[in-house]
Amino acid sequence: MDGNIAILGYGLSAIGPGIGVGLIFAAYINGAARQPEARGMLQQIAILGFALTEALAIFGLALAFVFR
Amino acid sequence: MSFGLPASAEGGFEAPSAADFWQPLVGDGAFAITRASIVLLLSAAVISVVLLRVTRRLAVVPSRGQYLTEAVYGMVRNSVARDIIGSRDFLRYVPLLFTLFVLILANNLLGVVPPVQYPTMSRIGFPIALTLVVFALYHVVGIRKHGLVGYFKSFVPKGLPWVIVAFIYPLELITYFFTRPVTLALRLFGNMFAGHILLLLFILGGEYLVFEAGGLMTVAGALAFVMGFVLTLFEMLVEFLQAYVFVLLAAFYIAGALADEH
């Protein structure tokens, strides 16, 4: 079995954003459940937070291919 | 195999890699006409034809095409530009944001439309070009609004003690000039690239398992095809979401450059 250790780095870098994205959408669901009228506004904030959090995993992916 | 994808060279399955995305059609090197540039031109043609045809015959009772176009335009105008930039001066930026959204959406969706099936943004050059437009724009907008010195001062809130400013200012400088453009380009690129490579893996892997491995592996190959189908649907969601996120962040950065002193 062969491969590249850089891919492990991607796996590690995906842990944090994975937890972060989970927390963001948990908060979004909580907020939408408590106040359904605020759903549209919350959705935008949730997607923005999701995009910013995800950036770390994307860095990891890019670097995994840079250092292969 | 169409388009010469190196699916199964002799002696086993070869996993798809970044090299599969480099597909020059005419020429080679930096100025080659690649499959990605053809897809970009195609998407531009499709967008122009659709928008011209729809907006030529506007009616009070909209046709289906007009209704759809107005829905997309309304989403970018109201829920992105107006809500984020603010109702005072959002209208100037709507054309750019709408163009970005439609262009990215069309290019992303062409990544799963059968005869094309190549996401333009999986080549890093295209997201970088789009990001440069946004990057230049929000700095120009900010400098016009605050003046050159005022713009650089507006990175940190007024009235902070200088000790804190000394710590925060370099971070803000890195954010404005490095993190924002790099993440904006990399996010779009990374999502399209990773999504497409996943589709390649499941579909080419499934093909290998069904046609070459044989035996019990045929069942696994069939499952891989099912997974490829599910992931195609997921990709369509991601493609829409990434176009939306790109425009959302562009509007967010413009709004940040325009913001008044707190």
Looking at the domain assignment, is residue B103 inside a domain? Answer: yes
CB-CB neighbors (< 8 A) of A50 in chain B: 245
Q: Provide the phi-psi class of A2: left if phi over 0, else alpha when psi is between -120 and 50, else beta.
A: beta
Per-residue model confidence as pLDDT tens digits over B55-89: 888 877 878 888 888 999 999 998 888 888 888 88
Q: What is the largest CA-CA distance in chain B?
A: 73
B238 domain-assigned:
yes
pLDDT of B10 higher than 70: no
Give me the percent of chain B exceeding a pLDDT of 90.
34
- Are residues B191 and A55, on separate chains, in Cβ contact within 8 Å? no
Contacts of B83 in chain A (CB under 8 A): 44
In this predicted structure, the answer to whether residue B90 has a pLDDT above a threshold of 50 is yes
- Report CB contact under 8 Å: B245, A55: no
Q: Identify whether the C-beta of residue B34 lies closer than 8 Å to the C-beta of residue B23.
A: yes
Residue B15 belongs to a domain: no
B182 to chain A, closest Cα gap in Å: 9
Let me know if residue B104 belongs to a domain.
yes
Would residue B41 count as lying in a domain? no
Q: What angle is formed at CA B43 by the lines to CA B53 and CA B40, rounded to 5 degrees?
A: 150
Point out which residues pair with B26 in neighbouring strands. B33
Q: What percent of chain B has pLDDT over 70?
A: 95
**pLDDT of B103-125, one tens digit each?**
999 999 998 888 888 888 888 88
Residues of B in contact with A17 (CB under 8 A): none
* pLDDT computed for residue B43 by the predictor: 92
- Using CB atoms, which residue from B79, B187, B194 is nearest to A55? B187
| Mean per-residue pLDDT, B24-47 | 85
On the question of pLDDT at B146 being above 50, the answer is: yes
What H or E segment, with its residue span, contains residue B261? none
Q: Of B65-79, B166-180, B208-222, which range is least confident?
A: B208-222
Place of tokens 């996943």: B198
Residues 217-256 of B with CB under 8 A from A: 241, 244-245, 248-249, 252
Q: Is the pLDDT of residue B54 over 80?
A: yes
Residue B12 lies in a domain: no
Three-state SS string across B2-54, please? HHHCCCCCCCCCCCCCHHHHCCEEECCHHHCEEHHHHHHHHHHHHHHHHHHHH
Three-class DSSP category at B246: helix
Show the domain range for B126: 58-258
Number of domains in chain B: 1
> Does A47 sit within 8 Å of B252, measured CB to CB?
no
> What is the per-residue pLDDT for B262?
55
The pLDDT value recorded for residue A25 is: 94
Cα A41 from Cα B64, distance rounded (Å): 28
Length of chain A: 68
State the nearest Cα–Cα gap between B245 and chain A, in angstroms.
7
- Taking residues B205-219, report their average pLDDT: 82
**Is B189 part of the contact surface with chain A (CB cutoff 8 Å)?**
yes
Q: Report yes or no for ipTM above 0.90.
A: no
- What does the pLDDT look like over A5-42, one tens digit per residue? 878 888 888 999 999 999 999 999 999 999 999 888 89
Q: Are B200 and B16 in contact (CB under 8 A)?
A: yes
Which residue in A has a C-alpha nearest to residue B79's C-alpha? A44
Residue B26 lies in a domain: no
Higher-pLDDT residue of A20 and B213 is: A20
Mean of all residue pLDDT scores within chain B: 85
Residue B48 lies in a domain: no
Residue A43 has pLDDT above 60, yes or no: yes
| A38 part of contact set with chain B, CB < 8 Å | no
For residues B80-103, average pLDDT:
90
- Chain A residues whose beta carbon lies within 8 Å of the beta carbon of residue B181: none
